[in-house]
């Protein structure tokens, strides 16, 4: 076990993350992003060596999911448990979009003894991230007014804009796969839309990917059929990132163009941004008929693009025919989970283990975000854990 290298890495970085939320990757400096990676790797090293990473003797991690999610729920629970926190779910019901007084009050009521709050709220454009900021403001105020002994910090577990725990886990997977962040310069990643027979998949994954991957000097190619735009604000972030970091951000309506010579491909379905906006209005008006009509329309629109599939033929066009295939899972696999889907079964089969490995970084990314927002001196704490070497399982 070599925790020392991760501590040295942290020593070389400037970060100010104590008592801070993690809501959007582009609100964090590159050093702060790297600090999360270093801590994630350190925590993983500890655990893989059966060394306890428990920093809390007691404390709660509040989870607020407005969408079913086995994967994210387990990642959050695992991260909390690794650090010594118990998880308490806050069940507000899916449909109910709380606001104003209710948010302020609830945020305080669940925080008297809470250290971390994880929120997943990705259903409605313009709502999820806004809600998180309302919660953050409420607990900040509660802390300043002496209501809360400590300000619990927020982790965005997916919102309408970003999915930072996913994109950061994906990036750490890429870093490990390519043998170090220094090897990413000039690598091409194709974030492309792919056909799915299901409807209304969130935009936060492609947005998170182009918002983050453009910071590492990579060439990020965003591809989708006409009409499947992502948020234009996020595209601006991506363009700015690329310009500042010596990378590229390009857009195309051709899957083939994106795949050509790519080092990494990330083919995944999503709903058009404009459609998600419409849906949010329809939900707001309780217009069930309108929602059904929109769903029908979107499925029909999707069906025009069944050729957007990650096939063996397309894979052959990537760098040496061996691009790394990525997916946040579950993937719509042609002939397996659906008749026609995002990816050919033979392609997915070859990369299945890689996608599992990719997902395996998420609990550590979440734990690192919790760690950095609750530890005043992360290096000292890591040093102590490594020195004490308390076994996780005796």
**What is the smallest separation between the CB atom of 70 and its own copies, expressed in angstroms?**
6
Q: Is the dihedral of CA 169, 175, 181, 183 positive or negative?
A: negative
Residue (of 299, 309, 301) closest to 197 by Cα position: 299
Is the separation of the CB atoms in 372 and 15 below 8 Å?
Answer: yes
Q: Rounded to 10 degrees, what is the CA torsion of 198, 219, 349, 268? A: 0
Write down the residue that tokens 């609830």 correspond to: 106
Token output for 179 = 């043998």
Residue (of 188, 177, 180, 233) closest to 213 by Cα position: 188
Tell me the CA distances in angstroms from 12 to 18, 141, 322, one per residue in order.
17, 33, 34
The reply to whether 320 sits near its own copies by the rule CB under 8 A is no
> Where in 98-117 is the site for its own copies (CB under 8 A)?
100-102, 104-106, 108-110, 112-115
Among 29, 81, 130, 311, binds its own copies (CB under 8 A): 81
Among 9, 84, 181, 350, binds its own copies (CB under 8 A): 84
Is the separation of the CB atoms in 261 and 317 below 8 Å?
Answer: yes
Choices 144-152, 220-228, 245-253, 264-272 (CB under 8 A): range interacting with its own copies:
144-152
Tell me the CA distances in angstroms from 141 to 107, 160, 274, one per residue in order.
10, 25, 35
Minimum CB distance to its own copies smaller for 318 or for 374: 374
The reply to whether 378 sits near its own copies by the rule CB under 8 A is no
Minimum CB distance to its own copies smaller for 92 or for 340: 92
What lies within 8 Å, CB to CB, of 173 at 6+ separation is 326, 354, 357, 358, 361
Among 11, 146, 232, 320, binds its own copies (CB under 8 A): 146
The reply to whether 4 sits near its own copies by the rule CB under 8 A is no
Among 136, 220, 333, 343, binds its own copies (CB under 8 A): 333
Minimum CB distance to its own copies smaller for 90 or for 260: 90
Minimum CB distance to its own copies smaller for 158 or for 317: 158
**What is the smallest separation between the CB atom of 165 and its own copies, expressed in angstroms?**
13
Among 296, 330, 339, 389, binds its own copies (CB under 8 A): 330
Among 13, 87, 291, 299, binds its own copies (CB under 8 A): 87
Token output for 309 = 């599939």
CA distance 394 to 390: 9
CA distance 11 to 5: 10
Is the separation of the CB atoms in 306 and 195 below 8 Å?
Answer: yes
Choices 81-89, 179-187, 193-201, 205-213 (CB under 8 A): range interacting with its own copies:
81-89
Among 73, 177, 350, 383, binds its own copies (CB under 8 A): 73
The reply to whether 86 sits near its own copies by the rule CB under 8 A is yes
**What is the smallest separation between the CB atom of 44 and its own copies, expressed in angstroms?**
8
The reply to whether 353 sits near its own copies by the rule CB under 8 A is yes
Minimum CB distance to its own copies smaller for 18 or for 253: 18
Among 11, 14, 58, 226, binds its own copies (CB under 8 A): 58
Using CB under 8 A as the binding criterion, the count of chain residues that bind its own copies stands at 70
Among 10, 23, 39, 53, binds its own copies (CB under 8 A): 53
SS3 for 287-324, per residue?
Answer: CHHHHHHHHHHHHHHHHCCCCCCECHHHHHCCHHHCCE
Residue (of 286, 18, 267) closest to 152 by Cα position: 18
Question: Which residue ranges make up the site for its own copies (CB under 8 A)?
Answer: 47-48, 52-60, 62, 70-71, 73-75, 77-78, 81-84, 86-88, 90-92, 100-102, 104-106, 108-110, 112-115, 142, 145-149, 329-330, 333, 336-337, 352-353, 356-357, 359-360, 362-363, 374-375, 381, 384, 390-394
């Amino acid at each position: 076990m070599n925790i020392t290298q991760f501590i040295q890495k942290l020593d070389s970085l400037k970060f100010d993350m104590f008592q801070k939320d993690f809501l959007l990757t582009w609100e964090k400096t590159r050093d702060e992003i790297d600090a999360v990676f270093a801590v994630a790797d350190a925590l993983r090293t500890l655990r893989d060596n059966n060394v306890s990473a428990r920093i809390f003797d007691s404390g709660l991690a509040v989870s607020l999911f407005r969408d079913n999610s086995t994967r994210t729920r387990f990642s959050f629970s695992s991260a909390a448990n690794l650090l010594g926190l118990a998880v308490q779910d806050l069940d507000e019901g899916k449909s109910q979009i709380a606001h104003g007084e209710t948010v302020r009050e609830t945020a305080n009521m669940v925080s008297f003894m809470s250290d971390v709050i994880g929120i997943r709220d990705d259903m409605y454009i313009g709502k999820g991230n806004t809600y998180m900021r309302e919660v953050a403001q409420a607990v900040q105020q509660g802390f300043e007014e002496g209501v809360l002994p400590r300000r619990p910090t927020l982790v965005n577990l997916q919102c309408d804009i970003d999915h930072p725990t996913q994109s950061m886990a994906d990036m750490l997977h890429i870093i490990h796969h390519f043998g170090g962040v220094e090897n990413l310069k000039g690598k091409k990643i194709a974030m492309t839309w792919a056909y799915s027979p299901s409807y209304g998949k969130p935009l936060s994954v492609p947005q998170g990917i182009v918002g983050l991957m453009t910071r590492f000097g990579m060439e990020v190619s965003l591809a989708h059929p006409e009409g499947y735009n992502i948020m234009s604000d996020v595209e601006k972030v991506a363009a700015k990132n690329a310009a500042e970091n010596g990378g590229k951000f390009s857009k195309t309506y051709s899957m083939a163009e994106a795949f050509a010579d790519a080092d990494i491909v990330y083919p995944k379905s999503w709903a058009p941004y404009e459609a998600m906006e419409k849906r949010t209005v329809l939900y707001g008006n309780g217009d069930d008929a309108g929602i059904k009509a929109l769903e029908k329309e979107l499925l029909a629109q999707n069906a025009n693009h069944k050729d957007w599939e990650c096939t063996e033929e397309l894979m052959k066009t990537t760098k040496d025919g061996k691009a790394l295939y990525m997916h946040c899972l579950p993937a719509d696999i042609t002939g397996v989970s659906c008749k026609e889907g995002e990816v050919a079964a033979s392609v997915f089969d070859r990369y299945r283990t890689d996608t599992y490995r990719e997902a395996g970084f998420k609990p550590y990314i979440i734990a690192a975000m919790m760690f950095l927002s609750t530890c005043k001196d992360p290096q000292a704490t890591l040093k102590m854990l490594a020195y004490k070497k308390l076994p996780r399982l005796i």
